Structure 1
Amino acid sequence: MAHEQHAELIKALHDCAAACNHCFDACLQEEDVKMMVGCIRLDRECADICSYLEHAITRNSPFVSELAAVCAAICEACGTECQKHDHDHCQKCAEACFKCAEACRSVA
């Protein structure tokens, strides 16, 4: 089954989506929310594509490699944005994003 073959990627996708959702919520609580707009936007994009790819893998979509390439690009962009901010939630999100981007590239 495809989802068993991609177990490591599924875990990275799940962890990344969770980190992005946490970062998104935490960014909304920051004092200067306007400064966090780019981070918030990319957190949403990243969480959404990670969740979508996780579902696509588990239903054995024929587009997994194409979706993984897009997901890697979005994860990389989100990680780069989060890395710019000193907040702990942003740094943890960046770490999860970069790990997920690497896992996505392995199947793209």
Structure 2
Amino acid sequence: MEEKFIRLAEKTFECQKVCNECFDACLEEDDVKMMVDCIRLDRECADICSFVTTIISRQSAMAADLIALCATICQACGKECEKHDMDHCQKCAKVCLECAELCRQAA
């Protein structure tokens, strides 16, 4: 497997973990209603990152298309998380935007 795909698999795994942590922390915020978009994108991002990690390990012929979709979702999640001052959202934004960039490079 190419080095860029190994790095991407590591980053998508990290992004899945951080998005799940952010999702859980958002549910504990005082104003959960304000966090609805963040929570939804955290879940979607964690799911696609999990799937992309698996697809990369399988060396699927569909990997490029799925990695491109992952870039789009990670970018959206990162931009949403950037809007919130909480540490968990800021950490999530950073990792999501890094993951989006690696996805764009790999796709």
TM range (shorter): over 0.9
Partners in 1 of 2:4 and 2:70 — Cα distance?
18
Runs of 5+ in structure 2 lacking a partner?
Answer: none
1:83 maps to what in 2? 82
Structure 1 runs of 4+ aligned residues shifted over 3 Å read none
1:52 maps to what in 2? 51
TM-score normalised by the chain length of structure 2: 0.96
Structure 1 residue 60: deviation in Å?
A: 1.3
Q: How many residues align?
A: 107
SS in 2 for 1:86: coil
Report matched runs for 1:60-99 at 5 Å. Answer: 60-99=59-98
C-alpha RMSD over aligned residues? 1.0
Partners in 1 of 2:63 and 2:103 — Cα distance?
9
TM-score normalised by the chain length of structure 1: 0.95
The superposition leaves residues 59-78 of structure 1 with CA deviations (integer Å, 9 ceiling, x where unpaired) of: 11101111011000000000
2:30 maps to what in 1? 31
The superposition leaves residues 76-103 of structure 1 with CA deviations (integer Å, 9 ceiling, x where unpaired) of: 0000000000000000000000000001
